[in-house]
Amino acid sequence: MEQRYETVIVGGGVAGGALGLMLARAGKSVLILEKSVEYPDRVRGEWFAPWGVVEARRIGIYDLLRGAGGHHLKRHVPFGDDIPDVETAEASALDLTALIPGIPGPLCLRHPVICQVLTDAAAAAGATILRGVNNVRVCPGAAPEVTFDHDGAGHRVRCELIVGADGRTGVSRRQAGIVEHADPQHHLFSGLLIENAQGFPEDIQTKGTEGDVNFLVFPQGNGRVRLYLGYASDRKGFLSGPDAPRRFLDAFRLKTLPYSDAIVNATPVSRCYSYPNNDTWVDTPYVEGLVLVGDAAGHNDPITGQGLSISLRDVRIVGESLLSSNSWHTRQFEAYAEERRERMRRLRFAAALQAARRRRLRARSRGAAPPHPREAHGGPHALVAARRCHGGTRKHPGRGLHAGGLGSHLRLKSARNVPRLDSARG
């Protein structure tokens, strides 16, 4: 069976659903292919940085996210070994509502809910959504086409453009021959969703390190909280097996974290999934007839929590480019590629700084000597990234770069002709 659409989007996650909605609202014929029949909880991004909230508003999905239960956080309060007491933590709190004028802080919402809301809205706007799709094969070029299996039958779809939005492990990037680069893994990350966490303040988020435990806490409202743990790569089996959720919660028996009892005694409502902490990227996220968005085009180290915001920025730039012309061609993605390359470079630098701080805190808690600066900054690859970020000079790597404590409010003052990540104008 052969059909034709203007755009075929491979992957119905956050990026695919948001772009499909954006194009369908403009009257474009859109087909979204999604492998899952029901969106699973696989510990993906559930935190939109303030600049990501700006992108959600510009795309026109902010009200959908809020209507589905999106929950704003107002303050970041740091806890951990380097914070001596609660009073010091409160005094060091960051007002998240002040980072970008008019944005009431980061937005939290379950990833499966985000995906479902966006694809439902895309379908209502006229997009065709197929779930349970397998054996996808993309064939970019002058006459793009996609083949796949659905409901026991093979299908061939011709289109003007293929969008690869199928995530880190998707097929679009590899089949298009786009090479992905990756930094070495420096530790593992795992997440767990809990309910009935009464007693933990719902307007604050926190992250910190106590001993070997790197913890992150993001309330989602109504007693629901998304937790994350970072741990050493050599402890690969730490959070595997049927009792992993219980061991995960036990790791939150922390002396430096107030309200930890509320977390330990809560109810786990998801599985534990662990994944590597590192950065990946591509040099050019497009070929003739195909463009990549979201994690398919490379992801930032999850330690910074920028994944959802990155995806929405991708969607907005690519979507606006497509809607600005009735004749689509490869060259129109050059500006997107240039902006994304610089954006991801800045975020890699911010992630390297956070990873370095985590290593130093862990070394201090063990009574060991602090890591050598080369190792503290994530090894030689991170030092090279830092130098490239500043034109290859040996100047102080933090000059002109403000990470706002979370990597969510980045500004490289010396950059020219590159959209600011914290700018409402993009």
Nearest to 308 by CA among 13, 7, 1: 13
pTM of the entire predicted model: 0.85
Q: How far is it, in rounded angstroms, from Cα 50 to Cα 58?
A: 13
pLDDT at position 369? 52
Q: Which domains, ranges and CATH numbers included, belong to the chain?
A: 2-66+109-181+282-339 (3.50.50.60), 73-102+184-277 (3.30.9.30), 344-412 (no CATH)
Q: How far is it, in rounded angstroms, from Cα 2 to Cα 306?
A: 39
Nearest to 378 by CA among 402, 401, 355: 355
How far out from the chain centre does Cα 72 lie?
17
Per the CB < 8 A criterion, the answer to whether 241 and 287 are in contact is no
Per the CB < 8 A criterion, the answer to whether 103 and 56 are in contact is no
Tell me the C-alpha to C-alpha distance, in Å, between residue 188 and each of 172, 301, 365, 384, 387. Answer: 26, 11, 19, 23, 26
pLDDT in single tens digits along all 426 residues of the chain: 679 999 999 999 999 999 999 999 999 999 999 999 999 887 778 999 999 999 999 999 999 999 999 999 999 999 999 899 999 999 999 999 999 999 999 999 999 999 999 999 999 999 999 999 999 999 999 999 999 999 999 999 999 999 999 999 999 999 999 999 998 887 888 999 999 999 999 999 999 999 888 899 999 999 999 999 988 888 877 888 889 999 999 999 999 999 999 999 999 999 888 888 889 999 999 999 999 999 999 999 888 889 999 999 999 999 999 999 888 888 899 999 999 999 999 999 888 887 777 666 666 655 655 444 333 333 333 333 433 433 333 333 333 333 333 333 333 333 333 334 433 333
The sign one gets for the Cα dihedral 54, 60, 63, 68 is negative
Q: How many CA within 13 A on the CB side of residue 14? A: 32
Q: How far is it, in rounded angstroms, from Cα 283 to Cα 298?
A: 10
Cα angle 395, 399, 400 (rounded to 5 degrees) comes to 135
